[in-house]
């Protein structure tokens, strides 16, 4: 299948020189050039807040909010705070929600925090109250207990909408817990799986079929496409997901429909 409409839920365009991810600059215009002709209609633009530097946090958030007003609204802003910044983080979260941030980005590895930290629960609860889904980087090679911590977080803040980026990476089979939880009436199914980076990693290899099997068990209606630009090229990411083995209806859901519903506030 050639993909039709696509929403890329995971990109890191460089909105500030202090936000450069790779050695070479990767401004939003570079992403637009690489995404041309792929059918990508919208893309999440993410920033990651540093700890204890509220000036830089605000600058990054303001830059990505400004980007959302350019390019005919192609990029939707995903702002960030650092949980360790306490009350200041909660106040910044409220500010960016009012200014148009669509989601919140938290990154346990880069920001160096434990998902089980009560400060994380407090930030997630605040985001839920403000109506913001929370996009977590959800693969840590240093914390084998992290998948279970996300389950506890979802149970602690059941009204939150959590997006687990990278599908737990090489430990993707841990996602099967969400199939088990879905059997219980108390589980609201407010956890989504962003398959950026992991889809490209596994496509064409011996684990690709298992990856799709696990995602189907979780529910393809909870799977989101992401490119993880600039760490992956959007063309490569689109091609990898197209070749994983999803059928046409599943690809439409993964590439576009699930993200569109989430952005519209419809949980499906």
- Residue 89, pLDDT above cutoff 80: yes
Residue-wise pLDDT tens digits, 196-251: 999 999 999 999 999 999 999 999 999 999 999 999 999 999 999 999 999 999 99
Superfamily (CATH) of domain 6-264: Metal-dependent hydrolases (3.20.20.140)
Average pLDDT over residues 76-97: 98
Instruction: Kindly state the tokens that stand for 99.
Output: 């200014």
* Extents of the domains making up the chain: 6-264
Burial class (CB in 10 A: 0-12, 13-18, 19+), 93: buried
- Residue 165, pLDDT above cutoff 70: yes
Measured between its terminal Cα atoms, the distance across the chain in Å is 24
What pLDDT sits at residue 1? 46
Band (pLDDT 50/70/90 cuts) for residue 68 is very high
What pLDDT sits at residue 3? 63
Band (pLDDT 50/70/90 cuts) for residue 268 is low
Model-level pTM?
0.97
- The fraction of the chain above a pLDDT of 90, given in percent, is 94
- Round to whole Å and give the CA distance between 29 and 47: 16
Check residue 221 and report its DSSP letter.
Answer: G
Average pLDDT over residues 1-7: 76
- Residue 87, pLDDT above cutoff 80: yes
- Residue 173, pLDDT above cutoff 80: yes
Q: Measure CA 255 to chain center.
A: 14
Q: What is the DSSP string of 24-85?
A: S---HHHHHHHHTTTTEEEEEEE--PPTT-HHHHHHHHHHHHHHTTSGGG-EEEEEE--GGG
Instruction: Kindly state the tokens that stand for 111.
Output: 């920001």
Residue-wise pLDDT tens digits, 42-52: 999 999 999 99
Neighbours of 247 (CB within 10 A): 10
Residue-wise pLDDT tens digits, 29-66: 999 999 999 999 999 999 999 999 999 999 999 999 99
Mean pLDDT of the chain: 96
Q: Measure CA 28 to chain center.
A: 18
């Amino acid at each position: 299948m050639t993909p039709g409409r696509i929403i890329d839920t995971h990109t890191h365009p460089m909105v500030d020189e202090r936000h450069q991810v790779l050695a070479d600059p990767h401004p939003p215009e570079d992403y637009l050039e690489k995404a041309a002709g792929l059918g990508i209609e919208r893309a999440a633009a993410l920033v990651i807040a540093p700890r204890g530097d509220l000036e830089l946090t605000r600058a990054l958030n303001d830059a990505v909010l400004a980007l959302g007003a350019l390019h005919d609204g192609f990029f939707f802003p995903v702002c960030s705070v650092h949980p360790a910044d306490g009350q200041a983080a909660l106040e910044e979260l409220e500010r960016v929600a009012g200014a148009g941030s669509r989601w919140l980005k938290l990154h346990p590895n880069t920001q160096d925090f434990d998902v089980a930290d009560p400060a994380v629960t407090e930030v997630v609860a605040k985001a839920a109250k403000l109506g913001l889904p929370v996009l977590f980087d959800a693969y840590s090679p240093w914390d084998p207990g992290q998948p279970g911590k996300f389950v506890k977080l979802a149970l602690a803040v059941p009204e939150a909408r959590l997006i687990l980026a990278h599908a737990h990476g090489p430990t993707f089979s841990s996602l099967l817990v969400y199939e088990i939880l879905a059997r219980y009436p108390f589980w609201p199914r407010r956890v989504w799986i962003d398959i950026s980076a992991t889809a490209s990693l596994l496509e064409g290899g011996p684990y690709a079929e298992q990856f799709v099997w696990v995602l189907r068990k979780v529910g393809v209606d909870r799977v989101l496409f992401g490119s993880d630009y600039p760490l992956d090229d959007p063309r490569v990411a689109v091609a990898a997901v197209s070749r994983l083995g999803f059928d046409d209806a599943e690809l439409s859901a993964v590439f576009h429909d699930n993200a569109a519903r989430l952005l519209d506030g419809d949980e499906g």
